[in-house]
Structure 1
Amino acid sequence: MAPPKSKAPTQATNTRIFFFSILLALQYGAQPLISKRCISREVIVTSSVLACEAAKVIFAVYFMAKEGSLGRTFKEWTLVGALTASGLPAAIYALQNSLLQISYKNLDSLTFSMLNQTKIIFTALFTYFMLRQKQSIQQIGALFLLIAAAVLLSVGEGSNKGSTSGNADQILFYGIVPVLIASLLSGLASSLCQWASQVKKHSSYLMTVEMSIVGSLCLLASTFKSPDGEAMRQHGFFHAWTPLTWIPVIFNALGGILVGLVTSYAGGVRKGFVIVSALLVTALLQFIFEGKPPSLYCLVALPLVVGSISIYQKYPYQIKKKES
């Protein structure tokens, strides 16, 4: 895959990246609290996921129509191009989610969360090999600072939860190995999305539509045998839904649009910075709305996240004369 030509980002692009990143951090950070308050336990999970994917498609088509690219985009659309740009990442994300479900059942939440942070490193590696997107020494240090912050936040989240007992082989082969493979797949899929948007100039909104449709088809196929499918056949698709249930569904759909935009404009590595920063947003919102003070781990992680973002932005990789 040929690397894209290096261009210095304009002030307008930097402003756009900052705006989308702030919105994504707020959405990702607020999502757990909104879902907890608005979705009852009786709601069938698959129905909310399918509704979210449908909402993503509607929003993406609306935004394409608003910017005037809808007609041109669908005129130039081809099945081969869609499968190349979005089909493979969608299939990878589906496999990744399955592996995470297996791992989560066989690991305590702390170990799972810490190992899951390795996807940031895998994203950086894949963007280097696929896009020749190099990192400066300072940026590599910033990545490790970010992972340290993510580990601290994971410790804070998992310290109050019990661990799962089990033999060593089960923990290794059904817990550690699946989550590491899932992290590797996450880095690969994120890099593929970045490659499609930056090299192949595939629209971020179009990728959202394509990946949502592919993901929904895979999910619908699974309902023929899954407990959620049986529940929907017995009780109906919107069982236990209320008007409030739509709030987190729509909020999550908009978050999916923002993920595509951040990946398209800023890349998968910076998306990792946004996601970890969002954990701090969750802690802040819990303090504001639930009176739950942030843990010591969260307070220690805060300067690490701020410092890592500052270093990563301040010391980009400088292209040498021979490379240019």
Structure 2
Amino acid sequence: MAPNKSTQSSQPMNGRVLFYSLLLTLQYGAQPLISKRFTRREVIVTSSVLTCEIAKVMCALFFMVKEGSLRRAYKEWTLVGALTASGLPAAIYALQNSLLQISYRNLDSLTFSILNQTKIFFTAIFTYFILRQKQSIQQIGALFLLIVAAVLLSIGEGSSKGSTGGHADQTLFYGIIPVLVASVLSGLASALCQWASQVKKHSSYLMTIEMSIVGCLCLLASTLKSPDGEAIRQYGFFYAWTPLTLVPVISNALGGILVGLVTSYAGGVRKGFVVVSALLVTALLQFLFEGKPPSMYCLVALPIVVSSISIYQKYPYQIKIKKKES
């Protein structure tokens, strides 16, 4: 018996999804190490984030031209529709990216990656309030495990570096707190993007372009009064940059494109696989390139995070259908 057309058409799509997922796994797992290794501490955060957003726009435009969707998107695009779909999420993501850049520099790579997974918990909360998506009992338990791991890491980071009070404070206020606030913002922005994609039917590339442009405008406006803006005016936009600084910028930009593609083609289940795999990639790369094995707190928290994400993806909420009596 010959395979039906739907089976044949699904095979290339599954291969594409697998390819995007593998790329995103490598990018997501390696990004903390790449940023830490190739970005000097003196680099102005706003300049790095702005350059990354510009790179996202260029990448998205390139892919839209390649697939032939740019002309159609241009004809259908409206300013009101773009601001409605992408304005608020873009502003949120711009602030989130700035916080992540700060956190990268003050936490070890694996701790950062695990704490960053708390965004799943906040995404679940905001999707419930915005989209009314309910969670199963198993998913609620998994989210609780995730928070336990985050608290464990927070306590562990503070106590392990508690011998020097100033250094512990720097880890808390410039490492742990920024990444947790960024997770809250990520959850809110993800829920808003999901709502926009269901209502506006935007392509992932167009959404990336709109959000990056709005995010750039918000960041440029913030430079009028922010310390980063003062530093840019005093030292220049590319102060302390080297050619290698472009490596994490381009990697982060491609990661933003891949997130949209994986979510668009595969949804949350495959993205959960990416998140779990990326944690393992981060731990392996940190050991290989930094020669530093994971701390005891990370070793305890890592299986908790992996288990919680796996349970959350495996036991989705099931809508109960009442049988009508004949």
Aligned pairs for 1:253-272 (under 5 A) are 253-265=253-265
Secondary structure of 2:239 counterpart:
coil
Any residues of structure 2 matched to 1:83-102 within 5 Å, and which?
Answer: 83-94=83-94
RMSD over equivalenced CA pairs, Å? 4.0
* Cα separation, partners in 2 of 1:231 and 1:305, compared to 1, 3 Å: closer
Structure 1 residues 94-243: aligned runs within 5 Å? 94=94, 119-162=119-162, 184-243=184-243
- Paired residue for 2:293? 293
8 Å CA contact 1:89, 1:189 repeated in 2: yes
CA distance in 2, matches of 1:217, 1:275: 30
SS in 2 for 1:202: coil
Give the structure 1 partner of residue 5 of structure 2. Answer: none
Output the CA distance in 2 between the equivalents of 1:270 and 1:159. 36
CA distance 1:179–1:292, shift in 2 (3 Å) = closer
Q: CA distance change for structure 1 residues 302 and 227 in 2, over 3 Å: closer, same or farther?
A: closer
Higher alpha-carbon deviation: 300-309 or 198-207: 300-309
Pair 1:313-2:313 in alignment: yes
Aligned to 1:3: none
In the superposition, the TM-score normalised over structure 1's length comes to: 0.74
Corresponding position of 2:79:
79
The Cα of 1:267 is off from its aligned counterpart by 5.4
Alignment of 1:64-75 (within 5 A): 64-75=64-75
Deviation, structure 1 residue 59 = 0.6
Residue segments in structure 1 that go unaligned for 5+ positions in a row: 1-9, 166-170
1:52 CA drift (Å): 0.7
Q: Distance in 2 between matches of 1:143 and 1:215?
A: 30
TM-score (norm 2): 0.74
Specify whether residues 262 and 157 from structure 1 end up closer, same or farther in structure 2 by C-alpha distance, changes over 3 A only: farther
Written as runs of structure 1 = structure 2, the 5 A alignment for 1:53-72 is 53-72=53-72
CA distance in 2, matches of 1:273, 1:139: 15
Deviation per residue, 1:37-66 (Å, 9 max, x gap): 222233332222111111000011111222
User: d(CA) in 2 for partners of 1:304 and 1:270?
Assistant: 19
Write the letter of the residue equivalent to 2:307. Answer: G
**Alignment-mate amino acid for residue 222 of structure 2:** S
Contact (CA 8 Å) 1:193, 1:264: kept in 2 or not? no
Identity of aligned residues (%): 81
Shift of 1:244: 1.2
Displacement, 1:289?
0.9
Unmatched segments (≥5 aa) in structure 2: 1-9, 167-171
Q: What is the CA distance between 1:315 and its match in structure 2?
A: 2.6
Residues 186 and 270 of structure 1: is their aligned pair in 2 closer, same or farther, counting only changes over 3 Å?
farther
Deviation for aligned residue 1:266: 5.4
Inter-CA distance 42–311: structure 2 relative to 1 (3 Å threshold)? closer
Superposed CA offset, 1:203-250 (max 9, x none): 111111111111111111222333333333344322332221111110
Paired residues of 2:118 and 2:146 also in contact (CA < 8 A): no
Q: More helix per residue: 1 or 2?
A: 2
Q: Is the contact made by 2:49 and 2:97 (CA closer than 8 Å) also made in structure 1?
A: no
> Which amino acid is the alignment partner of residue 294 of structure 1?
P
TM-superposition CA deviations, 1:130-183 (whole Å, max 9, x none): 334333322332333333344444455444334979xxxxx9xxxx99998865
